Amino acid sequence: MFDSTTFAENKAIVHVNGKIIGNAVTQFRDEIEQQLQDGNNNLIIDLTDVPLLDSTALGVIIITLQVLQRSGGKLVLLNPQKAVSSVLEVTRLTSILEVYESEEAARNAFS
């Protein structure tokens, strides 16, 4: 359900495919931790193919955001779909997260 690519030094994009709910959240967290271990502290999470995420997954995004910020890195979200977008808006995470609609714009956020 994950397909991650390191596209520049310390920079990676994680494509997620499917709902991030229940057990998938643990895998999602593992995948992100792997990226951090690999030294990628600039992360794009591609949400194009994520129809839904639950509050625990939101917790993973929040902790990732904080960990990356502390290490001088950055978290960027790419193309959240309707349901995910509305969760980000209601919780006001949009005020603190960078969200882009195209991969190019997301990559440019790091330069």
Partner 1 sequence: MSETVYVSKVNSSTETILVVDDDTDILALLEMSLISDGFNVITASDGMEGLERAKTDLPDLILLDVMMPYMDGLQVIEKLKSDSDTSTIPIMWITAKSQTEDKLKGLETGGDDYITKPFDLREVSARINAVLGRTRPVKYINPLISAMGEGFSEEGVAELGSHLQAAAEIQMKLLPDKPPVYPGFEFATMFRSSTSVSGDLYDFIPLSETRIGVVLGDVKGHGIPAALLMVMIQTASRLLCNETDSPSTVLKRINTLLFHNTDLEQFATMVYGILELDTGLFTYANGGHCPPIHFISGKDKTDTLNHNRSKVELLETGGMLIGAFDIATFSSDTSQLSPGDVLILYTDGVTETEGVKPNDFYGEDRLIECLSRNLDQSAETLCEVLQSDLLDFSGTTQLKDDRAVVVIKRTEVN
Contact footprint for partner 1 (CB under 8 A)? 22, 51-52, 54-56, 58-60, 62-63, 66, 83, 90-93, 95-96
The smaller minimum CB distance to partner 1, of residues 93 and 105, is found at 93
Query: Do the bridges between strand 74-78 and strand 42-49 make them parallel or antiparallel, or are there none, so unpaired?
Result: parallel
β-bridge partners, 104:
none
Round to whole Å and give the CA distance between 20 and 28: 7
Q: How far is the CB of 100 from partner 1 (least distance, A)?
A: 20
Task: HSE, CB side, 13 Å, CA atoms: give it for residue 75.
Answer: 22
Q: In angstroms, how far is CA 107 from the centroid of its own chain?
A: 13
Q: What is the DSSP letter of 97?
A: S
The smaller minimum CB distance to partner 1, of residues 39 and 51, is found at 51
The smaller minimum CB distance to partner 1, of residues 54 and 103, is found at 54
Q: How far is the CB of 6 from partner 1 (least distance, A)?
A: 25
The smaller minimum CB distance to partner 1, of residues 37 and 95, is found at 95
CA distances from 69 to 42, 72, 86 (A): 9, 5, 24
